[in-house]
Amino acid sequence: MSKILTIGAHGGIGRLFCRKAAEAGLPIRAMVRSEEQRSYFEAQGVEVVLGDLEADFSQAFEGCDQVVFTAGSGGATGGDKTLLVDLYGAIRSIRGSEERGVVHFVMVSALRVESPLEAPPAMRHYMVAKLLADQRLLESGLRSTILRPGRLTDDAGSGRVRTEIEGEGFGISRSNVADCIVEALRHPSGSNRVVDLLDGNVPIAEVFASR
């Protein structure tokens, strides 16, 4: 059975997604940077492969026909890591997917990346990195789903979101984002799609079944 490679599996969204995907019976492969990160995924029954976005990770694609990219350098790092992980890591992941014939690529991006200069100054380099990664994916030959969540929270997942920016609140729980990835994989679009995501009132399964 072909696998779904999860790049950024050890991040906040990645861990939640891998657990939820395993519970849903999806064939997940988690890419982690070190042996110390292996035990969490193996306890969930998830296959693990070692790979580092700042080194060679081409072997991670073997036997995979879908890819989830939810990697991020994190808020505590500098712009150099943002370039290496959020931008160049994403570009290399897209290129590897093209070379391996991946049929569906799910990118976790960020809300309002299309207007990076409107972001707070400390966030602009991050938004530019995400925007350029999204553009590279859209220009590739891959069928893709780009998820653009708002401000991430650790609130409990509600299973409901909205895809319109208008309305109250600009946050979304990491749990809801993880559920959105699962549904995007279950319902791949016939063409590229970009989905803004905020906590809301529409069942997540309904959002992706109708797109």
Catalytic residue annotation: 126
Residue 83 DSSP code: I
Residue position matching structure tokens 């991050």: 126
Contact 50, 35 (CB under 8 A): yes
From residue 113, give the alpha-carbon distance in Å to each of 18, 33, 90, 161, 193. Answer: 25, 27, 15, 19, 15
Q: Would you list the DSSP string of 16-79?
A: HHHHHHHHTT--EEEEESSGGGHHHHHHTT-EEEE--TTS--GGGGTTEEEEEE-----TTS-H
The amino acid occupying position 189 is S
Q: In angstroms, rounded to a whole number, what is the distance separating the alpha carbons of residues 22 and 45?
A: 7
Contact 52, 61 (CB under 8 A): no
Residue 88 DSSP code: I
Q: In angstroms, rounded to a whole number, what is the distance separating the alpha carbons of residues 17 and 1?
A: 19
